[in-house]
């Protein structure tokens, strides 16, 4: 079938499109700017079209020849989002009917009990669902509560609140029940909806295996993320309006998005029916803890994954994507350096591969040594491990208090920190060819904090980075200038002696 995916640059749409193609469907992806999809991995296999839901003419062109149309857009975060979504849904419904579309699929939100006044966010989702269900095109509405996956606004709010606040005063809604669902399961239902019986025109509640309070979700998140148990104190006078501003102050989630989401948390978000199971078997429906592990890249305790590169490939749906907003994916602190080197790339690489052990770390030896001593005082490995081979490194081996995680000979050395720190740390060193017989040295230090202690730790060492990491980059570049020709000896040493040590982090 030919499927139109609206919101292809959004959280769900960008993850759904490649999975529809993997299931054998043709995908036409609609975006207001085709350039935003230029670099996504699946773009070459899809048909990319430009269009705007406020422009009926562009919708008619986008829907021409389409069998199944996915409505995955919303205006949350914009002023007057209810009006904007109402108009978008009306235009979409008319165009889909006029073009003979066989099925509309919409991902909406949970329905609060009839006796409760719905929040603006949920009211808008219900209104869009009604418009599509009355379009004359058979429509399936999937009503999902909190979606667990890196990039989901609801999950990011949960992540930042739990990681940054070991003690928190919260509104009463932390006691409300929620049935969170993994993004992987949401995508599975969306794909299956394309093949549901043609006569179906209704909504379905979808949710995960577990029913939890929001407070329990924070505690379970903390456990999966290896954080201490959080102290949660519900406070009756804390209104949704104050709660939204509190969330905005603590997290990077924009206030314009946090406000309607927080206002929706006054309602319980659980499934009231599970009729979808008649058409889509539950299978291995994920529980909350496993969904969080996937979102954090923690598949196994012994598996450390570089989330910023999405290198794991284990469940990309749960991990960050390039099209996700900059505030998603958790906090990653970076220190980046770049130096042009008047030496060939192979000379620069020999210096990079020779770091550590007796060769040292090319800057401020005392700071590196002190960091190594401190690490041993708290039970870490310190600097006593050195390196196994004077000239070469191998993936998996120890290097002082680092572990070699990745080597691309002549290009990249990535080290993972094994010192005692409240988070996860990496050091990356790149050798890149420059014009003529020159090269470029790039250096990245990355730190993923764990809890409030991790953020405080990064802030405490930040003043030293300008000295340690900038000095390291300069001296590695200088070391490349003194390298002997290939075959004339091992790694060159800088002219000034350097003692082995660890990191300023």
- Which residue in 468, 495, 464, 467 sits closest to 351, CA to CA? 495
Residue 266's pLDDT band (cuts 50, 70, 90): confident
Q: What is the mean pLDDT of the chain?
A: 82
Higher-confidence position of 52 and 20: 20
What per-residue confidence (pLDDT) applies to 303?
A: 33
Comparing 219-223, 274-278, 451-455, the range with the smallest average pLDDT is: 451-455
User: What's the CATH code, domain 333-481?
Assistant: 3.30.530.20
Helix (H, G, I), strand (E, B) or coil at 463: helix
232 band by pLDDT with thresholds 50, 70 and 90? confident
Angle between helices 365-377 and 451-481 (to 10 degrees): 140
Residue 423 is encoded by which pair of tokens? Answer: 């988070």
SS (H, E, C) 68-86: EEEECCCCCCCCCHHHHHH
Confidence (pLDDT) at 337 = 93
pLDDT at 313: 37
Q: Give the mean pLDDT of 79-103.
A: 93
Residue boundaries of the structural domains of the chain: 2-318, 333-481
Output the pLDDT for position 209.
Answer: 93
Q: Which residue has the higher pLDDT, 327 or 232?
A: 232
Kindly state the average pLDDT of the residues 8-35.
90
Average pLDDT over residues 488-499: 44
- Where does the pLDDT of residue 64 fall: very low under 50, low under 70, confident under 90, or very high at 90 and above? very high
Which pLDDT band holds residue 200 (cuts at 50, 70, 90)? Answer: very high
Residue 152's nearest CA partner among 130, 196, 184 is 184
Q: Are 341 and 453 in contact (CB under 8 A)?
A: no
DSSP at 308: G
Architecture of the domain whose range is 2-318: 3-Layer(aba) Sandwich (3.40)
Terminus-to-terminus CA distance in the chain, angstroms? Answer: 53
Please say if the pLDDT value at position 58 is more than 70: yes
**To which residue do tokens 């990491």 refer?**
469
Helix-, strand-, coil-residue percentages of the chain, each rounded to 5 = 40, 20, 45
Cα within 13 Å of Cα(162), Cβ side: 26
- What's the pLDDT band for 239 if we cut at 50, 70, 90? low
* Confidence grade of residue 311 (pLDDT, cut at 50, 70, 90): very low
Residue 368 corresponds to which tokens in the numbers above?
A: 């590196």
> Pick the residue with more confidence: 340 or 469?
340
What is the torsion angle, in degrees rounded to the nearest 10, for the CA atoms of residue 393, residue 396, residue 398 and residue 401? 110
pLDDT at 24 > cutoff 70: yes
Q: At how many degrees (to 10) do helices 153-164 and 255-264 cross?
A: 90
- Whether the pLDDT of residue 505 is over 50: the answer is no
Q: Residue range 161-178: average pLDDT?
A: 81
To the nearest whole percent, how much of the chain has pLDDT over 70?
Answer: 82
- What is the pLDDT, as a whole number, of residue 307? 34
Question: What are the C-alpha distances in Å from 223 to residues 152, 227, 230, 482?
Answer: 20, 6, 9, 50
Q: What is the mean pLDDT of residues 111-117?
A: 76
Band (pLDDT 50/70/90 cuts) for residue 487 is: low
What pLDDT sits at residue 361? 84
pLDDT band at 297 (very low <50, low <70, confident <90, very high): confident
Residue 317 has pLDDT above 70, yes or no: no
504 has a pLDDT exceeding 80: no
324 confidence band (pLDDT: 50, 70, 90): low
Residue of 279 and 76 predicted with greater confidence: 279
Distance CA 118, CA 76 (A): 16
| Measured distance CA(459)–CA(314) in Å, rounded | 32
Condensed to tens digits (0 to 9), the pLDDT of residues 412-467 reads: 999 998 888 888 889 999 999 999 999 999 999 988 888 778 888 888 888 888 78
Alpha helices in 284-399 (DSSP H): 288-296, 345-353, 365-377
Q: Identify the pLDDT of residue 298.
A: 58
Please state, in angstroms and rounded to a whole number, the distance separating the CA atoms of residues 487 and 387: 21
């Amino acid at each position: 079938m030919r499927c139109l995916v609206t919101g292809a640059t959004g959280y769900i749409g960008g993850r759904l499109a490649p999975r529809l193609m993997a299931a054998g469907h043709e995908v036409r992806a609609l975006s207001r700017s085709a350039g935003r999809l230029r670099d996504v991995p699946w773009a070459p296999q899809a048909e990319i079209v430009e269009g705007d839901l406020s422009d009926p003419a562009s919708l008619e062109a986008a829907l021409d020849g389409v069998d199944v149309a996915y409505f995955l857009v919303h205006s949350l975060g914009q002023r007057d989002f209810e009006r904007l979504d109402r108009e978008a849904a009306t235009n979409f419904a008319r165009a889909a009917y006029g073009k003979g579309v066989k099925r509309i699929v919409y991902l909406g939100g949970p329905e609060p009990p009839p006796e409760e006044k719905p929040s603006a966010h949920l009211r808008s989702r219900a209104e869009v669902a009604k418009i599509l269900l009355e379009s004359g095109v058979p429509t399936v509405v999937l009503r999902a509560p909190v979606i667990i996956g890196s990039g989901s606004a609801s999950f990011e709010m949960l992540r930042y609140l739990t990681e940054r606040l070991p003690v928190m005063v919260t509104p009463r809604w932390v006691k409300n029940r929620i049935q969170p669902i993994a993004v992987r399961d949401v995508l599975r239902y969306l794909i299956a909806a394309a093949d549901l019986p043609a006569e179906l025109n209704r909504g379905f509640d979808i949710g995960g295996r577990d029913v939890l309070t929001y407070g329990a979700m924070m505690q379970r998140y903390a456990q999966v993320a290896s954080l201490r148990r959080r102290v949660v104190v519900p406070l009756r006078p804390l209104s949704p309006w104050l709660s939204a501003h509190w969330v905005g102050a603590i997290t990077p989630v924009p206030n314009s998005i946090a406000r309607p989401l927080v206002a929706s948390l006054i309602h319980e978000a659980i499934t009231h029916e599970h009729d979808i199971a008649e058409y889509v078997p539950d299978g291995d429906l994920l529980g909350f803890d496993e969904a969080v592990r996937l979102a954090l890249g923690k598949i196994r305790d012994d598996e450390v994954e570089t989330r910023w590169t999405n290198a794991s490939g284990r469940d990309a749906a749960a991990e960050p994507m390039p099209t996700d907003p900059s505030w998603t994916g958790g906090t990653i602190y970076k220190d980046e350096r770049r130096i042009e080197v008047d030496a060939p790339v192979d000379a620069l690489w020999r210096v990079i591969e020779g770091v550590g052990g007796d060769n040292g770390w090319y800057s401020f030896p005392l700071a590196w040594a002190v960091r190594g001593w401190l690490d041993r005082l708290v039970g870490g490995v310190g600097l006593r491990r050195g390196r196994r081979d004077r000239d070469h490194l191998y993936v998996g081996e120890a290097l002082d208090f680092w572990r070699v995680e990745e080597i691309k000979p002549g290009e990249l050395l990535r080290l993972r920190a094994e010192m005692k720190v409240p988070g996860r740390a990496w050091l990356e060193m790149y050798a890149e060819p420059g014009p003529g017989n020159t090269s470029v040295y790039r250096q990245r230090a990355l730190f993923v904090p764990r809890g409030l202690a991790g953020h405080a730790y990064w802030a405490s060492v930040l003043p030293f980075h300008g000295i340690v990491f900038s000095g390291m980059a300069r001296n590695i570049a200088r070391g490349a200038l003194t390298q002997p020709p290939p075959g004339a000896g091992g790694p060159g040493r800088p002219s000034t002696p350097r003692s082995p040590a660890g990191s300023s982090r």
